[in-house]
Amino acid sequence: MKYKPHEYQSYATEFILSHPISAVFLEMGLGKSVITLSAIFDLCLDSFLVCKVLVIAPLRVARDTWPAEIKKWDHLKGLSYSVAVGTEKERIDALKKQSTLYIINRENVDWLVHKSGIPFHFDMVVIDELSSFKSYGAKRFKSLLKVRPSVKRIVGLTGTPSSNGLMDLWAEFRILDLGQRLGRYISHYRNTYFKPDKRNAQIVFSYKPLPGAEEEIYKQISDITISMKSTDYLKMPEYVSNEVFVTLSDKEWKVYSEFKEEMVANLGDEEIDAVNAAVLSGKLLQMANGAVYDSGNKAHVIHEKKLDALEDLIEGANGKPVLVAYWYKHDLERIKDRFPVRQIQSSKDIEDWNDGKIPIAVIHPASAGHGLNLQSGGSTLIWFGLTWSLELYQQTNARLYRQGQKDTVIVHHIITKNTIDEDVLLALTKKEKTQDALIDAVKANLEVMR
C-alpha cells in the first residue's frame, strides 16, 4: 500500500529523525508504528546513521502488529526484520538472523540482556508503550537501564504517558535521557516536585504535585517530547459515553455494605474476609459485578443485576456486534452462561470479529490494551466491570474508537449504584484530566512546518 502521510505523521517522523532521544506521545489510532518505521528506514537505509534497531513491544504487538506494518507499506520494502518471540530457541534463532530490525516482547528484555548470550549491539531502541517501563523496580526497567548508555538513539512511544499521575514519568524519562531532565534518582524527583498526600505517621502512601510542579515538569521534558491527540489531527467518529446504573435489592445491599464496613461477610457456610484495603477494594468490585471469590477461589453469586443490564444493552443493539469488557474470571463465566459469546484471544478471533462474524465478543482489558485493531467489527463497547487502570481503560476503548471506524462509537459502563463502581469511574476521570494536561502542555505545534 502506498503511504500518504498526514502532515502530523511527517512532522512526527522528522522529530524522531532530528532528536536522538525522543518521547512521542501519540494518542491511539494516529499510526505511531508507521511513523517510527519511516524514521527507522531513513536512519538505516538512507542516511546510514543506524545499523541495528531493537523494538520492544507488548507480546501481541511484537508478534503481529509491527511485522504487519512493515509488510503493509510500499515505502518500507527492503527493511529486513526478525521477530524474537516464542520459545528460547526461537528467540535465539531470531536474534542470530541477519536483519536491520529486531522485535522482542517486553517480558523478555531481562532475558535478552542477562541470559540470552547475545551481545547487546543495538544502536537504536524503540520502546512501544513506554508506559510499561514506569516501574523503576521492575526487572525490565533495570535491565534496559543497564545497557542504555551503549544506545545512540532511543524512541519512547505511548498514548498514555502518565496513566497513574505524574510520578510515572520519572522512570520513563530515566530510561530515555538517563536522568538529565527529571533527575537520576526517584527520591530527587519526588522531593523536587511532590509533597506527601495520604500517610500514616511516617509511612507515605501517596504524593501530590507541589504548586507549579506540573508546569515545571512539562517544561523540563518539552525539548525531547511531542504529543498529539487524534481529535486534533483526524476526523474521528462521534464518541458517546453512557452510564447504565443498576440498583441492588435490600438483601444484596446488606451483604455489600456489611462487608464494606466490617471487611467481612458471611455467605452461607463460607466467610469472605479482606485483610487490607487493597483486598477490600478488589472484593467490593467483585461484589458490584455480581459475585465474589472465597479463600478457596470459589465464586459466590450475590446478584445478577449487571447481567440483566447487559442483556438489555445487547437487545438494544438490534443485532449490531457488541464487545464486552470484563475483569474477573467469574464475570466471564457468568457472561458465558447467559450469552453465546466468543473471547477475543487469537489472530483468528480478531479476523472473524473484524469480518462481522462474532455478534457478541468478550475481551479482557489486559489483553486488549495495545495494538489490536477491532474498529472494523463493531462500534459498541460495554464495560461489565471497570478497572482502576486508566491505561487499560483508554487502550480498550481505543480498540473501537480509532482511525478507520465508520460509525458512532458507544461506550456503555454498567455501574452498580452507590458502590465502588462510582469511585472507580470518578478516579478514571480525574487521572484522565492529569494526563490530558500533560499532553496539552507538550502538544506538537505543526505551525513550525508551514
For the stretch 76-135, pLDDT in tens is: 999 999 999 999 999 999 999 999 999 999 999 999 999 999 999 999 999 998 988 999
Distance CA 126, CA 8 (A): 19
Distance CA 152, CA 164 (A): 30
CB atoms closer than 10 angstroms to residue 67: 15
Report pLDDT for 375.
87
Residues in the chain: 450
Please tell me the distance from the alpha carbon of residue 120 to that of residue 248, in angstroms, as a whole number. 57
State the pLDDT at residue 268.
Answer: 63
pLDDT tens-place string over residues 203-219 = 777 788 899 998 999 99
- Res 445: pLDDT: 61
Compute the half-sphere exposure of residue 353: CA atoms within 13 Å on the CB side of its CA: 28
Ordered DSSP codes for 193-243: HEEE-SEETTEE--EEEPTTHHHHHHHHHGGGEEEE-HHHHS-PPPEEEEE
SS3 state at 342: strand
**3-state DSSP assignment of residue 348:** helix
Beta bridge partners, 380, equal 322, 410
pLDDT at 448: 45
Cell of residue 361, nine digits? 465478543
What pLDDT score was predicted for residue 61? Answer: 82
C-alpha cell at position 432? 484522565
From first to last of its 450 residues, the chain has per-residue pLDDT tens of 899 898 889 999 999 999 999 999 987 668 889 999 999 999 999 999 999 999 999 887 888 889 989 998 999 999 999 999 999 999 999 999 999 999 999 999 999 999 999 999 999 999 998 988 999 999 999 999 999 999 999 999 988 777 677 888 999 999 999 999 999 999 999 999 998 877 776 777 778 889 999 899 999 999 999 988 777 777 778 888 889 899 999 999 999 988 887 776 666 666 566 566 677 888 899 999 999 998 888 999 999 999 999 998 998 887 889 999 999 999 999 999 999 999 998 888 888 998 999 999 999 998 875 557 888 888 999 999 998 888 889 889 988 888 778 888 989 999 999 999 998 998 888 877 777 776 776 666 655 444
DSSP SS3 for 11 = helix
Kindly state the greatest CA–CA separation across the chain.
72
SS (H, E, C) 259-320: HHHHCEEEECCEEEECCCHHHHHHHHHHHHHCEEECCCCCEEECCCHHHHHHHHHHHHCCCC
Rounded Cα distance, 434 and 179, in Å: 22
What pLDDT, on a 0 to 100 scale, did the predictor assign at position 231?
72
CA 278 from chain centre, in angstroms, equals 22
Q: Please name each of the domains of the chain with its CATH number.
A: 7-234+438-442 (3.40.50.10810), 239-248+304-418 (3.40.50.300)
Distances (CA, A) of 150 to 5, 123, 145, 215, 228: 32, 7, 10, 32, 30
For 395, the enclosing helix (H) or strand (E) is helix 390-397
Q: Among residues 189, 178, 138, which one has the least CA distance to residue 156? A: 178
- Residue 410 to residue 425: CA distance in whole angstroms: 16
pTM of the model: 0.69
